[in-house]
Structure 1
Amino acid sequence: MRFLATALLLTATLAQADDRPLRFAVVDSWAMPLAQIENGELTGGIMFELFKETARELGRPAAFHIVPRARIEQALLSHSVDVRCYVSRTWIEHEFNDYRWTAPLMVQRDLLVVRDAPADKLETLPSQSVGTVLGYHYPRLQPLLDSHWLSRDDARNQELVLKKLRIGRYQYAISSEFALNWFNRELPEAERLRIASVIEETPLSCMVLDAPEVRADEVLSVLAKIKASGKIEQILDHYR
């Protein structure tokens, strides 16, 4: 009798997991091509396509939780999101033992970008402000900030950083390759921002909550399948 009750409870739990939306974290500072956020809703971009494909493969509805960058780790600690993607272990301060990591799904290349200044490497720049995204951590930039040789000029998202560079608010900015290519796509060749140097390349993964209602094994398996199928590269190609 006890076995039957346990089996029924497990069956009910699994049925609820199928009905319950999978909650994906969306950082509010993301911009295109990573994410299009309109009126507080995720409506397009690389992560939108990846999340929708993941939910489709799982046969579950997707829910997109817009989270301020400063509160993303609290959202994980409180289990208010099930999946956080586009993240590296080097970017987080806590272990988050309740979450399991996928293998790397894509790579972010961070670039030193210029408008009309001479191309140079980060470590050889004259003392000045550099365009950065509020809340982003840049490991190679940090020693230069600590020495007060360089300072940050923060903007809310990557698109605003590049817009400020284009109008001359500073001479140099740090940008992901995805964001730079998207920003340049409709500009005349002569007006496009240029790469001064590659700062670093970071493999990015997803974190999945290990809980019965999430079914972490299934989510991890589906993300691995999407990666192996070449679907992620197809999504990225839409925005290159």
Structure 2
Amino acid sequence: MPRMLRCRLLFALLFCPLSLLQAAELKVLVLDGDAMPWAEVRNNQLVAGLYFDLGQALAAQMGRKARFVLLPRKRLVHSIESGGSDVLCNYLPAWLPGKFDWSTPFIPNAELLISDQRASKPASLDGFANVRIGTVLGYVYAELDRVLGERFLRDDAPSMRNNLRKMMVGRVQHMVTNQFELEYLQRQGLFKMPLHPFTILRSFKGQCAVSRSGQVRVAEVDRAIAALQAQYTLRKILERYR
């Protein structure tokens, strides 16, 4: 390479605006309290899990490099609204209201009501009236709200994993969980309690919240999702944790 051209390239790198150097990033937001199968964090860095694999795949499909941003629950909305992160995946609009856009639904899951086999299980949802049910602080449980109303007796915990621990020591006999995570823990031998047949409260598909102030638009994210589905990449990612 001629010396003059090398000098010009070096000058461009030295004085190029930082925003241009970062233009190829996709900032993927992840709740810092999440655990496997969603996330494995070491030294404050996301290193594995479905969110890691999905973020890498989405970024690569858009010609970008994934950069993972770990934040507590209370800071998620502000990060997406302000453009501090570009996408936050596997949520629903009802769980995370805010001024941002939503991708097409694409991560299959189900909301389950599970009961410890050592306790009796009501025959219908209405039978759970005024019965303590393990729930996650800040989450909306539309079906239980609809059926039970003011008789829905929530026993809030910081996370689903915390509720499972409470169930194992007998502090709660019924709880709401998601099927994807529960089955992963059972396969890994991390949750061995005998349960009654579960009740499906609803099936759903998780979406990505997309910042209106970030570096990608929701249409770009949707195109990337469609491409990952067409290439069977998404199915392969999900099967790693099923």
Q: Secondary structure at the match of 2:94?
A: helix
Q: Could you state the TM-score of these two structures normalised by the residue count of structure 1?
A: 0.80
Shift of residue 43 of structure 1? Answer: 2.0
Corresponding residue to 2:54 among 26, 50, 57: 50
Task: Provide the residue aligned with 1:85 in structure 2.
Answer: 89
Relative to structure 1, the CA distance from residue 50 to residue 153 in structure 2 (aligned partners, 3 Å threshold; closer, same or farther) is same
Would the alpha carbon gap of residues 119 and 217 (structure 1) be closer, same or farther in structure 2, given more than 3 Å must change?
same
Deviations 1:141-185 (A, max 9, x none): 3357751x2322222222221121122111101000011112212
Q: Identity of aligned pairs, percent?
A: 29
Could you say which residue in structure 2 is the equivalent of 1:5?
none
Contact conserved, 1:25 with 1:65, CA < 8 A, in 2? yes
In the alignment, the residues of structure 2 paired with residue 65 and residue 108 of structure 1 have an alpha-carbon distance, to the nearest angstrom, of 24
Q: Does the CA contact (< 8 Å) of 1:114 and 1:171 recur in 2? A: yes
Give the equivalent residue in structure 2 for 1:208: 210
Instruction: Name the structure 1 match of 2:104.
Output: 103
Aligned to 2:237: 235
Task: Choose the corresponding residue for 2:152, options 142, 150, 153.
Answer: 150
**CA–CA separation in structure 1 for the residues paired with 2:76 and 2:127:** 34
Q: How does 1:180-199 map to 2 (within 5 A)?
A: 180-187=182-189, 191-199=193-201
- Contact between 1:134 and 1:157, CA under 8 Å: does it hold in 2? yes
Deviations 1:122-154 (A, max 9, x none): 33225222111222221123357751x232222
List per-residue Cα deviations over 1:91-126 (Å, max 9, x = no partner): 2333x2xx4432111222000012213344433225
CA RMSD of aligned residues (A): 2.8
Distance 1:47 1:18, change over 3 A: same
Unaligned runs of 5+ in 2: 1-15
Larger Rg: 2
How many residues of Structure 1 are paired with residues of Structure 2 in the alignment? 224
Residue 22 of structure 1 corresponds to: 26
TM-score scaled by length of structure 2: 0.79
- Does the C-alpha gap of structure 1 residues 128 and 21 become closer, same or farther in structure 2, counting only changes over 3 Å? same
Aligned to 1:140: 143
Equivalent position SS for 1:71: helix
Structure 1 equivalent of residue 11 of structure 2: none
Q: 2:35, 2:241 → 1: CA distance?
A: 12
Q: Distance in 1 between matches of 2:81 and 2:220?
A: 22
The residue type paired with residue 78 of structure 2 is Q
Task: For residue 205 of structure 1, give the secondary structure of its aligned residue in structure 2.
Answer: strand
1:236–1:119 distance in 2 versus 1, CA, 3 Å: farther
Distance in 2 (CA, whole Å) between partners of 1:212 and 1:71 is 16
Which of 60, 64, 67 is matched with 2:64 structurally? 60
1:35 to 36, 39, 64: 39
Cα pair distance change 1:210/1:114, threshold 3 Å: same
Contact 1:19 1:61 in 2 (8 A): no
* Matched-pair contact (CA < 8 Å) for 2:116–2:196: yes
Match of 1:123 in 2: 126
The secondary structure found in structure 2 opposite 1:132 is: strand
